[in-house]
Every structure is written in structure tokens, then in C-alpha cells.
Amino acid sequence: MGEFELIRHYFAAAPCAQAGDGVALGIGDDCALLALPAGQQLAVSTDTLVAGVHFPDAAEPFLLGQRALAVAASDLAAMGAEPIGFTLALTLPSVAEGWLQGFAEGLNRMASQCRLSLIGGDTTRGPLSLTMTVFGRVPAGQALLRSGARAGDLLCVGGVLGDAAGALPLVLGQAEAVDAVAASLLAHYWSPPPQFGLGLALRGKATAAMDISDGLLADCGHIASASGVALALELEALPLSNALLALLGRQAAQTAALTGGDDYVLVFSLPPEHLPALRAEGWPIHVLGQVREGQGVCLLDACGHDITPAVRGYQHFRETP
């Protein structure tokens, strides 16, 4: 199968590549064309996943397709943007039709869950890697930035933390768990649902927001520095799933939640007056701590003692000491 037949068969003809809201022209020309309503801004974000770095070479292609798009789409949700479309730059070592079929099915599943249309891409030969660029729209001035947190706001997250980090040893075949525990953690790793609904609900309410990809403490550090504030988190307030607690026990589950990463749950600062209405709408909001004057992130135990760990999350390139 040649490059153009491959593109047509697995991508251009896929359900997720058919006309979508906001897409004036999809796959097939030199560019796609997006139609943006007056008064809206385009939100754009790119993520690359490299085999052997972000996922095992032998990863199930269906799961990989699902996860790659979910991870990219999560950035749109974190801005309070509504989904439009995405491009896919795919580098493949060879044309393995079974692999492509599974990958395209996983991609279609997540694209339809997120209401994102595949609008273009690039197909090249080389070591397996995927780059997705996602496009969304948000009314001008209403995007949720990292920079607006103010002393007195609550620091909140939109779901349980650490499940994906807990799943990683299972994904890598380095650990085993009973079926119910493994299924629940692996579901979060392979198919983290982008929190589009919550992002929308937070517009005009949250003062800062982002999605947790590198670990709670590391990502809170980004909000703290962008906003010029300090964030104080309480260890006992971390929301942990029963599956994670069953697999790891409390202490290791807390570490997974603090530094593990891959959660793709929103973390945001919220003036306290907005909390009751959001909770009444049913959003699973957990208050982790507070925004204070100062700088940096600290972790407090039940007695209010500072127990901030030294290692905060994953970085591809660390500064040398």
C-alpha cells in the first residue's frame, strides 16, 4: 500500500475525517480551512508521542490511537475551549495494515467522544511517532490561562489523581493486579477523558487552569510562577481512587498523585464563592488547598508542617545542578 492509498483508506475515509462543525475544508488539499465565528479565538496545541519514550513499542494500536488524541485534546479542555479538529503527523517504520486499522479505530473512537474532526496531517517513514495538533475555539478573552490565580482562591482538581501513574507498571508489564483494579487503572491510563465540560463550566469562574500531565506538584508550579502566587496543598486532601489505594497503599498512592503525571485532570484556582454552584451542577471538584501570597508550591501534612518533596514530576531535559 502506497502513501496516498494509506492516507485515503485509514484517515481521509475515516468517520472522524468527515465534515464537522467549524471545518470549512478537511483532508485533501494543501491546507484545511477552519471557520471561526466572529468574536472567537482559535486555541491550538501540539503533542508528540514517541515509541519507547511515551509508550511501549508493542502498545496496542487501538489504545494508542485513543490515548494520543485524548492527551492532545486535554489541552483544549484546559483552556476552556470547545473542540473543532486535529491534524495527525504519523511516522511509521513500515505499513503494517493490522496496526493501522487498530490505530485508526482508536482514533475514531476518541475523536467521536471529543467531537473533534481529523482535518489533515502528514505521513512519513521512520521510527514510530505521532504528533497531534488540536484546534478549538473560545470566546475572545474567556480562555482559562495559567496566569490569573489570586491569593484567597481555592486550589481545586476535577477528579481523582494518580491512577495513570499507578497503571504505568501494569502497562510496562512490571507489575500485576487483580482484574477489577487493573481494569480501572488501565482505563484511566489508556483513555483519560478530556474534561471539556468542566473547562466550559469554569469559564468566567476559575482564575487559572491547566491540565495535569507532568504531575500535580510540577504543574502547580507552572500556575504559581505564571500567576506570581504561592500554592499550599494539603496531603490529606488528595483525591485517591479505591483501585489506586488497593494497588499501592496510601503512601505510594499519595506519591503517585503528587508526582506521577499522565492524569489529564484539570487543576484550577477558584474564588470560593463559585464552588457551591459548580458542585450543584455535579462537577467532581476536590479542594486541595489554597492560593496565597508569595511564590512556589508547598505541601502540608495534617498538622500544617511543610513536607514538600524534592522531586516534583517528569521532565525530558533536566537542568544540571
The verdict on 29 binding ligand ADP (CB under 6 A) reads yes
State the amino acid at position 307 in one-letter form: I
Binding partner at 258 among ligand ADP, Mg ion, none, C-beta below 5 to 8 Å by kind: none
User: What is the rounded CA–CA span in Å between residue 271 and residue 10?
Assistant: 46
The verdict on 123 binding ligand ADP (CB under 6 A) reads yes
Judged by CB under 6 A, which of 22, 83, 85, 121 binds ligand ADP?
121
User: What is the rounded CA–CA span in Å between residue 220 and residue 9?
Assistant: 42
Binding partner at 29 among ligand ADP, Mg ion, none, C-beta below 5 to 8 Å by kind: ligand ADP
The verdict on 111 binding ligand ADP (CB under 6 A) reads no
**Which sign, positive or negative, has the C-alpha torsion 261, 155, 147, 217?**
negative
Q: Which H helix or E strand runs over 260? A: none
Which residues are bridge partners to 46 per DSSP? 133
Angle value at C-alpha 45, between 203 and 117, nearest 5 degrees: 90
Smallest gap, in angstroms, from Cβ of residue 135 to Mg ion? 18
Cell of 237: 486532601
Judged by CB under 6 A, which of 5, 21, 97, 122 binds ligand ADP?
122
Applying CB under 6 A, the site for ligand ADP has a residue count of 13
What DSSP string runs through 144-205? --SS---TTPEEEESS--SHHHHHHHHHTTS----HHHHHHHHHHHH-PPP-HHHHHHHTTT
Smallest gap, in angstroms, from Cβ of residue 47 to Mg ion? 23
Smallest gap, in angstroms, from Cβ of residue 157 to ligand ADP? 33
Judged by CB under 6 A, which of 18, 19, 28, 127 binds ligand ADP?
28
The verdict on 94 binding ligand ADP (CB under 6 A) reads no
The verdict on 11 binding ligand ADP (CB under 6 A) reads yes
The verdict on 126 binding ligand ADP (CB under 6 A) reads no
Chain residues that interact with ligand ADP, rule: CB under 6 A: 7, 11, 27-30, 88, 90, 118, 120-123
